Structure 1
Amino acid sequence: MGLEIDDVGVVAGGRAILHKVTARIGAGTMVAVIGPNGAGKSTLVKAISGERRPALGRVRLHGDDVSTLAPADLATQRAVLPQATSIAFPFTVFEIVGLGLRQRAGMDAAARRQEVQRALAAVDLEGFGERLYQRLSGGEQQRVQLARVLCQIGKPVKDGRAKLLILDEPTSSLDVRHQIAVLSIARRFADGGGIVVAVLHDLNLAVSFSDRLMVLQRGRLVADGAPEELLEGPMLAETFGTGMVIMKPPGWARPAVLPDLPRILP
């Protein structure tokens, strides 16, 4: 059944900020949610994750309404990497990442340590376990949080049911190499049978890694489809309010997207 988003609407301060969004996302799929600032992207992923209950409609994961699932049950089926995470106490990297294992029962201390080390290696932080989280750079902290999320979610499929990995701007503080590395992790999760929903601002990364683009504008889903299809018309330029140049470099599997700078710059 996968992830079902049915006429989801969200209201804040008496104002509708998300308007009847509907989508179906099956197992083995990576979806990039894109759109201008204030379009409702983070609000949508909060509704999908169960963090925010919609005023209208509902979100179901394998038939279960995520807003009614017990937090402990939901934590075994979906994991969320938020835009930012504030840690006030002097935890080590190992302690932060180990928090992701709280819902995974039946692991002894040795297995837990091995799982944390595996997650840190996956995000290129091998050997960082004893460092204090607060002393890391912003990009390193972001990758620590991803390692925690990977520990929480585990394998992409359990008992024949795809798990859901939600990433809200996962590349915002990362250099180019680590942007590619992080989205490669997400791509492998989807290829392994899981479901990935990622909010991305970099259109080239969205086009390159995702199976589908969900395009939001002013709280409405204005387009939903394969990247190559959505790049063909004027939709992206109209949505972002700037001209776009679509290039197809030789040997590239996907097109590249550039702002039409000659028309913008004086």
Structure 2
Amino acid sequence: MVDAKDLSLAPRLLPISLSVEAGQVVHLIGPNGSGKSTLLELLSGLEVPQSGSVWLQGQPVSGQTRYDLAQVRGYLMQQQRPAFVMVVFEYLNLVLDSVQLATGEIRDKAVADVVSRLAISDKLHRRIDSLSGGEWQRVRLAGVLLQVSKALNPHACLLLLDEPSTGLDVAQQAVIYQEITALAREQEIAIIMANHDLNRTLEHADTVVVLQQGRIVSLGPPKAVLTDRLLSDVFATPLEQVSTANGPVIMRASSS
């Protein structure tokens, strides 16, 4: 599905190789400056690597136009405002029109379903510049979820997310992680996302990639990878995985 070979952009990212299969949810974790966003940019095809290559469904990403890439992958960058003002429904239509997705009742139903699940139905006629940070984040998420919806875009296979829960409250975060899991399981979309919430990674990721200073220091199932020693070393603070009645959680280690 997604294959990166010896991908690098020094000094932000040193040679990295990574393969992700359809329906797999991969979390990138690590301290600020570890290379998470850079890796996503390179995988998206919007940034050119110094060396190495990215292949998506057997085709090289390099040389493809932005339009071609938008047909097969969605990419949610860290929060940013659009260059011009519009209302929410215009923004969502712009996303859909930019990749010439389905029209008519199928499109209307897909939009209605997504905005309902993300609780932004009442925001459709609001100007984007009047939205709070969390509201705008949910609008952006709605757009990228529509872009890779198989009902609208049968060519979609990959979703890249850079800190998708930024600005969201606890309940909204829970909805977003549910949406991500459903997209992977039900539509076989490969998902690669940068994440700061270690407990969400522990619960929702199939695979976790731990980055430090532009290198992969560990990769594998979260419960095996997120050990006390590795987390404490990577984040330079004492952390531990603790068993609870609701399953393991990661927390700051006590000093005693």
Give the TM bin, normalised by the shorter chain.
over 0.9
Aligned with 1:63 (options 58, 61, 83) = 58
1:138 Cα deviation from its structure 2 partner? 0.3
Give distance in 1, aligned partners of 2:229 and 2:212.
Answer: 14
Aligned with 1:258 (options 245, 248, 251) = 251
Give distance in 1, aligned partners of 2:235 and 2:137.
Answer: 27
Whether the aligned pair in 1 keeps the contact of 2:3 and 2:54 (CA below 8 Å) is yes
Say whether 1:186 aligns with 2:207.
Answer: no
Give distance in 1, aligned partners of 2:233 and 2:207.
Answer: 19
Count residues with an aligned counterpart: 254
Task: Kindly provide the CA deviation profile for residues 125-158 of structure 1, in whole angstroms up to 9, marking residues without a partner as x.
Answer: 1222111111111001000000111121112897
The change in CA–CA distance for 1:140 and 1:43 in structure 2 (over 3 A counts) is same
Aligned with 2:243 (options 230, 240, 248) = 248
Whether the aligned pair in 1 keeps the contact of 2:199 and 2:250 (CA below 8 Å) is yes
Per the alignment, residue 8 of structure 1 pairs with 7
SS of aligned partner of 2:121: coil
Task: Kindly provide the CA deviation profile for residues 16-51 of structure 1, in whole angstroms up to 9, marking residues without a partner as x.
Answer: 211111111111100000000100110000001111
1:203 Cα deviation from its structure 2 partner? 0.5
Say whether 1:35 aligns with 2:27.
Answer: no
Give distance in 2, aligned partners of 1:97 and 1:157.
Answer: 13
1:111 Cα deviation from its structure 2 partner? 4.5
Identical-pair percentage:
33
Segments of 5+ residues of structure 2 without an aligned counterpart are none
Give distance in 2, aligned partners of 1:230 and 1:130.
Answer: 45
TM-score, normalization by structure 1:
0.89
Say whether 1:97 aligns with 2:92.
Answer: yes
Tell me which amino acid in the other structure corresponds to 2:174.
Answer: I
Whether the aligned pair in 2 keeps the contact of 1:104 and 1:152 (CA below 8 Å) is no
The change in CA–CA distance for 1:235 and 1:106 in structure 2 (over 3 A counts) is closer
Tell me which amino acid in the other structure corresponds to 2:4.
Answer: I
Deviates more, 1:134-143 or 1:66-75: 66-75
Whether the aligned pair in 1 keeps the contact of 2:12 and 2:214 (CA below 8 Å) is yes
Per the alignment, residue 119 of structure 1 pairs with 114
Deviates more, 1:216-225 or 1:128-137: 128-137
Give distance in 2, aligned partners of 1:226 and 1:162.
Answer: 25
Say whether 1:51 aligns with 2:46.
Answer: yes
Whether the aligned pair in 1 keeps the contact of 2:106 and 2:151 (CA below 8 Å) is no
Give distance in 1, aligned partners of 2:23 and 2:83.
Answer: 37
Per the alignment, residue 163 of structure 2 pairs with 169
Give distance in 1, aligned partners of 2:153 and 2:185.
Answer: 14
Say whether 1:78 aligns with 2:73.
Answer: yes
Tell me which amino acid in the other structure corresponds to 2:72.
Answer: Q
Tell me which amino acid in the other structure corresponds to 2:171.
Answer: R
Whether the aligned pair in 1 keeps the contact of 2:228 and 2:239 (CA below 8 Å) is no
1:117 Cα deviation from its structure 2 partner? 2.2
TM-score, normalization by structure 2:
0.93
Whether the aligned pair in 2 keeps the contact of 1:81 and 1:167 (CA below 8 Å) is yes
Per the alignment, residue 144 of structure 1 pairs with 139
Segments of 5+ residues of structure 1 without an aligned counterpart are none
Tell me which amino acid in the other structure corresponds to 2:100.
Answer: R
SS of aligned partner of 2:79: coil
Per the alignment, residue 232 of structure 2 pairs with 237
